[in-house]
Structure 1
Amino acid sequence: MAWKQVIDPFNRIGLSVLVAAVPILFVFWALIIKKMKGYQASLIATGLAMGIAVLVYGMPFKLALLSASHGALYGLFPICWLVIMAVFLFNITVKSGQFEIIKYFMASITSDRRLQALLIAFSFGSFLEGTAGFGAPVAITAAMLVGLGFNPLYASGICLIANTAPVAFGSIGIPITVASQVSGIPELPISQMVGRTLPILSVMLPFYLVTIIAGFRKAQEIGPAVLVSGLSFALLQYVSSNFLGPALPDVIAGLGSIICLMLLLRVWKPKTIWRFANEPAPIINTATTYTSGQIIRAWSPFIILTIMVIAWGIQPIKDALNSAGMIQFEFPGLHNAIQGADGSLLPKIFKFNYLSAAGTAILVAALIAIPLVGLTYREGLRVFGATLNQLKFSILTIAAVLGFAYILNDSGITLTLADVLANTGVMFPFFAPVLGWLGVFITGSDTSANALFSKLQYATAASIGVDPVVTVAANVSGGVVGKMISPQSIAVAAAAGNLVGQESQLFRFSVKHSFIMLAFICVLTLAQAYVIKWVIPAYQTLANTNSKAAPDVSKGYTYLLILAILLAIFATAIRRMNRNRQQTPKLANEHSVRNP
């Protein structure tokens, strides 16, 4: 017999809410006051949530344990699988030395600090967020700017602020994937809704960043660059998020804005080169040059990644991969064992789509890239082992946070909180981004915040007659501006910018900007809910989507064959360019011997 969720276990909603809020308040206390490590706080919070679910809500202990296990399993696959592969690909590029070429290429385009900030902190950081995510963008871009001679506080601070626009689509769109899984809304509508909010922020962000660095008047001096950077990024972010889904907006928009700004700098230069007063001399050796072949080779892992992720998002290819490699099963003991407050049984089906998962696409890209960047597969295996070691606590944290989120949702704790939030009435859409902001501030991750609060956002919106995709997307969008003041993000940026021990300065630098951007998103969300409702996409929830006939996978296999040929041609071209570059010095030496 199914166990039925309850919303008000004490029959006094005030008391029920106080108890329901205990696990979330514990997370606040553990991370902000106690300064507990993320994985420790997540594990204890999961245990606390299980205790309340069993003792207060009457959830059978077996169901509570299975619910937490289901969430943890989803945390491991596909979320951790994707994160591990993304960081693995990035680490391969670093280990091979190719990232030094990328770093020099990005930094040597211009010596103007304002333009360097746009290229590295905004555009390149967005690209890294789309591929690696997980703190890597802030760490890498801050270190690059400090290496170029930026003031460490400014370098770290502007990289934190620049990291707002791309966070929602980070790590190949995993924050939106989690929001979809938890809320029951398909990925594409959430991606579309976020893609109709953040591009407005993205247009303004480059000017905002330069104003922070150099002041309003100096920002106006590079108006053409600011416009090209912001408009190209926003346009590509909008198009890719609305028509391709959540996987590639950061990759496409980041690369696109880099290319557009570089093309502009070929025909336009600022009248004066702006640099910080009394800054140290540049470290980059301007005498160093790289050929086009070397630059393409250095970027080849990310080029292949982009091709692979685009291909994996094509439905016929996805269908073909799922037909060959997907295990789907009803979660034992949990499927249809919980009755929702509305009387419906909750399906608990786990899909192990090990071939069509985005993490698998990145793994294939990494395997292709390893010989192209000059590593052996033995060295690649060592890099993979080091990546697992690097992420071991992160993997545990993600699994624990997803277990915690599933317990909150399955027990009815989330519904209790939603019931109270619904009392804010028509103003709830205004506060919806605040919930995402708080979640990211607590956990340091938009993915984790969406796991915690997407169901609450959905339930509250439905109860007040607002389309749930507005508030679920607001949770995602609001979360991005909480990232810059998250204790975890501050720690990463401080370490990269040589500011360890000065985290409070970095926090004070970024906190006001976080509040300004949050207020903007709150007002925009309220308008989307009631005034500009035409921006809301049409969709069906995952539970209500009609079953489709078995797909014809022959087209998918044809596309995969074309993909393999395309990748083979690209890999051959890279290897040939590298071989020619190695032979050129040898031929030159032979010529000098024959003609002393």
Structure 2
Amino acid sequence: MYVQDLDPTGSLTLSALLAALPLVVLLVLLGGLRVKAHWSGLAALATAVGVAVLGYGMPLLTTLDAAVFGMALSCLLILWITFNAIWIYNLTVDSGHFAVLRRAFGAVSDDRRIQAVIIAFAFGALLESLAGGGAPIAVCAVMLIAIGFSPMRAATLALVANTAPVAFGGMGNPITIMGSVTGLSADDFGAMTGRQTALLAVLVPFILLWIADGRRGLREAWPAALAGGVAFGLGQFLLSNFFSYRLCDIFAALFAAGAILGLNRVWRPRIAEDSENRIRRGGPPATGGAAASPQPRATTVQSLVERPDDAPDRRADVLAAFAPYLIVVALFSLAQIPAVREVLDAPTVSWTWPGLGEITRPDGSPVAAEYRLNWGSATGTLLFASGLLTMAVLRIRPGRALRIYGDTFRQFGWAVLTIFAVFALSYVMNLSGMISTLGLWLAGTGAFFAFLSPVVGWFGVAVTGTDAGSNALFGGLQITAARELGASEYLFGAANSSGGVMAKMISPQNLAIGAASVDLVGREGDLFRRVFGWSVVLLLAMCLLVYLQSTPVLGWMTIY
């Protein structure tokens, strides 16, 4: 039996510094010394094992068992989802329909910056709402390369854009988990989160314009950012507060895309008009240009890929290009029907992980170490089923689809090791008590904890890579702090989700996924430095918002 000691040094501040050491090692190696993500993750894991055994007195075998438990969880929560999501994408590439999809997005606007907002922000949010797990980052990054962005900039855009929808990603899974671990209303957590992330969403498209084209991008294309951001934020707020938090991101993404499409009918940036003039004069076409005169229709994979951007595609080809994502939407919507969900959940099995069942907190309560194998209703399984249907729609033979799946697996390479290392790190820190030590120290700041509450969620996502994982780790801590301070439980619980989304872009596993998807494996450190500043800026904005919501200034926004 191992009983957690949350203050092993006798000084809570020193204990917190000791507990933070693995995170410091991870961030310094990854961002400061440009060490590859998998080596940084392994070094941080080794540090965590050392701190757990020597500092917290956790038995070595129990510590290693916790690391294996984390790796096992990552298989279902991350890898099974991501492999299948990118497999679907690779099926569209192999069939030639990805080129059709790219041209369809390009037809919305001749301006590459607006295309970036539509792809990374709106389409990425739709993917996040259905699957999450890094899939939107991988798919959108490759699509951005296809319309002309460099691999590094494409990955940066995809990572930053992935902030706004994360709190409600995977059909609201982070909010559902917050409700389950705290025993409070998930609907109220969802409503409160919508009153925070909706404001954040308005800012993200403007940041994307800055990343895409600097100050000129903001000056020339800001109306599109405003339309998309406001529409998305309004969708999140309305759905989370008046309908269902599970469907938030689906409708918010559709609202954002619709707003930009509508705006494009009456307004276009000057640079887009110049591009069209060059097309009319016979000059080089803009990337993703709008349709021009009819051309011979594509009938083969090669002709789909090589078709000029100014040649129209058959409606059947366009429908087939969007079919994989329509299939995903349809299957995930069906899976939310209670009767269907019950059937999918029937084969679920769960058990306490061997060797971890006797870990207890200082008050004697057990620490959860349950492995739940919900292979029937798992997000990855639904994506795999979507892939099988995609094979049929795109007419890809089973043997070819299997080879594509193997190529998808090899595409990740070292990223798989990074994900294993970081999840192992997360559960060593969690089960040893290090995470609770950090949370306890932060809660000791009194009323100022309202400002720091999002930081707790930020750290959680930085370690686990998922908002759901952060809520599972820190949900109880946030509620305990709220009760001790007499603050709103829903405010602090929502702040954990809202603050966590800003760490999505800097978590090692998402950096690894982003780098792998654009063939930049080994340059995760460079990618980290490009997004870290934006992560901190958005986090500080969220901290200020949550603090004001805890005071009379914005207290009218808070649910009690």
The TM-score with structure 1 as length reference comes to 0.75
The one of 312, 315, 339 equivalent to 1:316 is 339
Superposition TM-score, scaled by structure 2 size: 0.79
- Residues 402 and 448 in structure 1, CA contact (< 8 A), matched pair in contact too: no
Match for residue 413 of structure 1? Answer: 434
Residues 139, 493 of structure 1: 8 Å contact kept:
yes
Retained in 1: the 8 A contact 2:418–2:509? no
1:476 CA displacement: 3.4
348, 351, 375: which is aligned to 1:326?
348
Q: Which residue of 1 aligns with 2:402?
A: 381
> Residue type of the partner of 2:348?
M
Asked if residue 294 in structure 1 is aligned to residue 292 in structure 2, the reply is no
Deviations along 1:489-543, one digit per CA (max 9) or x if unpaired, are: 78887898999999999888766544442222111111334445675668xxxxx
Q: Which secondary structure state, in structure 2, belongs to the residue aligned with residue 351 of structure 1?
A: strand
Instruction: Tell me by how many angstroms 1:286 deviates.
Output: 4.5
Secondary structure of the 1:21 match is: helix
Matching of residues 29-68 of structure 1 within 5 Å: 29-68=28-67
User: Is the alpha carbon distance of 1:18 and 1:483 closer, same or farther for their aligned partners in structure 2, counting shifts above 3 Å?
Assistant: closer
TM-superposed CA distance for 1:456, in Å, is 5.5
SS of the residue corresponding to residue 481 of structure 1 reads helix
Partner deviation per Cα, 1:117-139 (whole Å, 9 max, x = no partner):
43233222333444565666456
Q: Say if 1:149 and 1:281, in contact at 8 Å, map to a contact too.
A: no
What is residue 362 of structure 2 aligned with on the other side?
341
| Pair 468,63 (structure 1): closer, same or farther in 2 beyond 3 Å | farther
Do the aligned partners of 2:232 and 2:255 also contact (CA within 8 Å) in 1? yes
Deviation at 1:97, TM superposition (A): 1.6
Following superposition, the deviation at residue 104 of structure 1 comes to: 0.4
Q: Is 2:273 the counterpart of 1:269? A: no
CA distance in 1, matches of 2:211, 2:37: 31
Cα distance between partner residues in 2 of 1:227 and 1:375: 41
Name the CA distance, whole Å, in 2 between partners of 1:56 and 1:501.
Answer: 32
Structure 1 residues 36, 375: CA separation in 2 closer, same or farther (over 3 Å shift)? same
- 1:146-171: CA deviations, max 9, x gaps? 65456888766655543331344456
Q: Is the 8 A contact 1:38 1:443 kept in 2?
A: no
Partner of 1:94: 93
Classify 1:245/1:365 alpha carbon distance in 2 versus 1 (closer, same or farther; 3 Å): farther
What amino acid is aligned across from residue 229 of structure 1 in structure 2? G
Q: Between Structure 1 and Structure 2, how many residues are aligned? A: 533
1:57 is matched by which residue type in structure 2? Y
After TM superposition, the structure 1 stretch with the greater mean CA deviation from structure 2, 404-413 or 280-289, is: 280-289
CA shift in 2, pair 1:367/1:69, >3 Å = same
SS of residue matched to 1:375: coil
Q: Which amino acid aligns with 2:387?
A: A
Structure 1: tracts of 5 or more residues without a match: 539-596
From the CA coordinates, give the structure whose radius of gyration is larger. 1
Instruction: Encode CA deviations 1:294-326: one digit per residue, 9 max, x unaligned.
Output: 212111111110111122223332222222x11
Structure 2 residue 104 is matched with structure 1 residue 81: no
Aligned partners of 1:316, 1:6: CA distance in 2, in Å?
44
Change (3 A) 1:24 1:139: closer
Q: Is the 8 A contact 1:405 1:452 kept in 2?
A: no
Q: Quote the residue 2:546 is aligned against.
A: 525
1:451–1:22 CA distance, 2 compared to 1 (3 A): farther
Q: Tell me if the contact between 2:34 and 2:525 (Cα under 8 Å) persists in the aligned partners.
A: no
For residue 9 of structure 1, give the secondary structure of its aligned residue in structure 2.
coil
What is the one-letter code of the residue matched to 1:328? S
Q: Secondary structure at the match of 1:394?
A: helix
- Aligned match of 1:18: 17
Q: For the residues of structure 2 that align with 1:470 and 1:123, how far apart are their CA atoms? A: 27
**2:371 corresponds to 1:350:** yes
Percent identity between matched residues is: 36
- For 1:38, give the aligned amino acid: A
- RMSD of equivalent CA atoms: 4.2
Please give the secondary structure, in 1, of the residue aligned with 2:445: helix
Partner SS for 2:377: coil
Secondary structure at the counterpart of residue 329 of structure 1: strand
Structure 2: runs of 5 or more not aligned: 289-307
Deviations 1:32-75 (A, max 9, x none): 33433333333343343233333332333443343333333222
Aligned to 1:477: 498
The CA deviation at 1:219 is 6.2
In the alignment, structure 1 residue 121 sits paired with structure 2 residue 127: no
Once the two structures are overlaid, the 10-residue window that deviates more, 217-226 or 56-65, is 217-226
Preserved CA contact (<8 Å) 2:70 2:425? yes
Q: Secondary structure at the match of 2:30?
A: helix
C-alpha contact 2:348 2:375 (8 A) present in aligned 1: yes
1:369 and 1:439, CA in 2 relative to 1: closer, same or farther beyond 3 A? same
Residue 421 of structure 1, CA deviation = 1.4
